[in-house]
Chains A and B, each alone.
Chain A
Amino acid sequence: MKDFAYLTAHDVPTAVRAITTPGAKFLGGGTNLVDLMRQNIERPDTVIDITQLPLDQIEELPDGGLRIGAMVRNSRLAAHRLIRTRYPVLAQAILAGASGQLRNMATVGGNVLQRTRCPYFADLAARCNKREQGSGCDAIGGFNRNAAIFGASEHCVATHPSDMCVALAALDAIIELESVRGTRRLPLVGFHMLPGDSPQHETAIAPDELITAIELPDLPAAARSRYRKVRDRSSYAFALVSVAAATEVRNGVITEARLALGGVAARPWRAHEAERVLLGAPATEDSFLRAAEAELTAAVPLSQNGFKIELAKRAITATLRQLHVEGSAA
């Protein structure tokens, strides 16, 4: 690993001033950044430890929502009573990711900003437009069974690896960003960029910005929610496909539907097409199937990942069915 200068920020103003130094990077739990630094994929000159920032609280907001400090560890978020009861899909999604050790280290802000696990991104001998702009993409004609089926481009087919963000997308979470220039609030849906012709540009965050908090809106339907993850082994693996779903059903009719998919795109994929079909439809197997079909119409497979289309359809219908029959995961 390349040597670097190291400093610890104890307050947000110090952190956002320090990040304006060229070559500086924020360090949260380190579960992704330290790994990438060891592989020389990330080569910061200055590392700013932000885990001592006073951003480790989970607070109820006056409007009924929740404010989650960006330095809250993944395990603490999943264990929080209000997350488990009001937003079970989020607790489930976090618990479906990584391992107990890594969840104890990883921060909420770092989870949002984690890099793709595309094997070509991590292989310095391979071509990767995300790692080295204009070098090409070895994934497209290579081992691509894990790659995206939505929103990919001829330059990049990588997926975003987070489980947590899939739940946050379904819940319409807000990301709060801070810099020396001030504070911004952005919806998580749309925060992660599709690759287009600049796959190195992964999120809407500016180089001098710090994620300070994630806010969850007051969403009664979220109490009836579930996360389902399909992967090559039953634990400690990234998703082939995952589904975050929350629904509200009145008199047999779906009155609220939140659906997002993981493992299928460079962003947590909010399934707007499926939601449109579900809203106002009877809560039946037929509606669930039609919703899944509608969402997957736009999917574009590569040579090895076509199975994800059928897998996503089945995962969507299974999640909705389970939510309808067994109810909430809470």
Chain B
Amino acid sequence: MADIRMRVNGSIEKLDVEPRVSLLDALREHLGLTGTKKGCDQGACGACTVLVDGERISSCLALAVQYADRDITTIEGVSDPLQESFVRHDGLQCGYCTPGQICSALGMLAEHAAGMASAVTEHVADEEIELTAEEIRERMSGNLCRCGSYNGIVAAIQESAGSAR
């Protein structure tokens, strides 16, 4: 067992976990933060996306011990106009992928604001990249939605990105 500490949604949490426990299971089973969802448990669906020091990662492929002393944000710690945009644009049906979609979108918007390109950016050296629907779809491709709410998700993110952020 390993005694670790991490900051989760602003508060310091102490955890006593085996090294094989994923960050996802540590959040859900040890800290009771069940907002973060387990979809595929193999890094293919994005339902488990959380923010670590502001960057999005798949928490199912992360060992909790590797993230000791880091700053984790889960959906329970998010309060952002993007969430209202998701409601307004029907960016969900069953809602299971939504916490991952929201966390991923927040990470993605920060990446875009930092000037990062994507696989559909015509010139990768450009740092002023317009966040078109095509760019959003590519940058969010790590988050699957079995209900197929993609049009709503893209619209919600586009609206949120367009407003003052």
When A51-B66, A101-B56, A101-B142 are in contact, do A4 and B20 touch as well, CB less than 8 Å?
yes
Whether the Cβ atoms of B46 and A95 lie closer than 8 Å is no
Shortest beta-carbon distance, B83 to chain A, in Å?
A: 19
Write out, one digit per residue, whether chain B residues 127-143 have a CB within 8 A of any chain A CB (1) or not (0). 00000000001111111
A196 to chain B, nearest CB (A): 30
Is B116's CB under 8 angstroms from A78's CB?
Answer: yes
Chain B hits for A34, CB < 8 A: 22, 61-63
Question: Is A57 part of the contact surface with B, judged by Cβ < 8 Å?
Answer: no
Q: How many Å lie between the Cα of A15 and that of B20 in the bound state?
A: 20
Whole-angstrom CA separation of A101 from B139 in the bound complex: 10
Q: Is the CB of A102 within 8 A of B142?
A: yes
A residues in contact with B62, CB < 8 Å? 30, 34, 105
Q: Which of A1, A5, A75, A105 contacts B111 (CB 8 A)?
A: A75
- B159 sits at the interface (CB 8 A): no
* B20 & A101 in contact (Cβ 8 Å cutoff): no
B142 and A98 form a contact (CB under 8 A) = yes
Q: How far is the CA of A85 from the CA of B55 in the complex (A)?
A: 24
Q: Is the CB of A30 within 8 A of B66?
A: yes
* Chain A residue with Cβ nearest B124: A91
Q: CB of A286 within 8 A of chain B?
A: no
Number of interface residues of A (CB under 8 A): 40
B28 to chain A, nearest CB (A): 16
B119 A3 Cβ-Cβ under 8 A: no
Which residues from chain A contact B41 at a C-beta distance below 8 Å?
38
A127→B43 CA distance, assembly (Å): 24
Complex formed: what's the CA distance from A79 to B117 in Å? 7
Closest to B118 in A: A95
Kindly report which residue of chain A lies nearest to residue B18, judged by CB atoms. A3
* Interface status of A247 (Cβ within 8 A of chain B): no
State whether A329 and B142 are in contact (beta carbons under 8 Å apart), knowing that A30-B63, A101-B57 are contacts in the complex. Answer: no
Q: Is the CB of A31 within 8 A of B61?
A: yes
Choose from A78, A96, A236, A330 the contact partner of B142 (Cβ within 8 Å). Answer: A236
Q: Is A6 an interface residue (CB 8 A)?
A: yes
Q: Is A35 an interface residue (CB 8 A)?
A: yes
Contact B57 A2 (CB under 8 A): no
List the B side residues contacting A31 at CB < 8 Å: 43, 58, 61
Q: What's the minimum C-beta distance from B157 to chain A, rounded to whole angstroms?
A: 13
**What is the CB-to-nearest-CB distance from B158 to chain A, in angstroms, rounded to a whole number?**
17
**Residues in A whose Cβ lies below 8 Å from that of B142:** 98-102, 236
In-complex Cβ contact of A3 among B19, B63, B114, B138 (8 A): B19
Indicate which residue in A51, A79, A235, A236 contacts B114 across the interface (CB closer than 8 Å).
A79
How many Å from the CB of A228 to the closest CB on chain B?
A: 11
Please, what's the 1-or-0 string for A41-56, where 1 marks a CB less than 8 Å from any CB in chain B?
Answer: 0000001010100000
Bound CA–CA A30/B46 (angstroms):
15
Least Cβ–Cβ distance between A222 and chain B, in angstroms? 13
If A79-B117, A92-B119, A101-B49 touch, whether A85 touches B57 (CB-CB below 8 Å) is no
Q: A75-B111, A78-B117 are in contact. Are A101 and B46 (CB under 8 A)?
A: yes
Sample 16 A-B pairs with CB under 8 A, ordered by A number: A4-B20, A5-B19, A31-B58, A35-B42, A49-B65, A51-B66, A78-B116, A92-B119, A99-B142, A100-B56, A101-B43, A101-B142, A102-B43, A105-B62, A235-B141, A236-B141
* B contacts, CB < 8 Å to A: 2, 18-20, 22, 41-43, 46, 49, 55-58, 61-63, 65-66, 104, 107-108, 111, 114-119, 121-125, 137-143
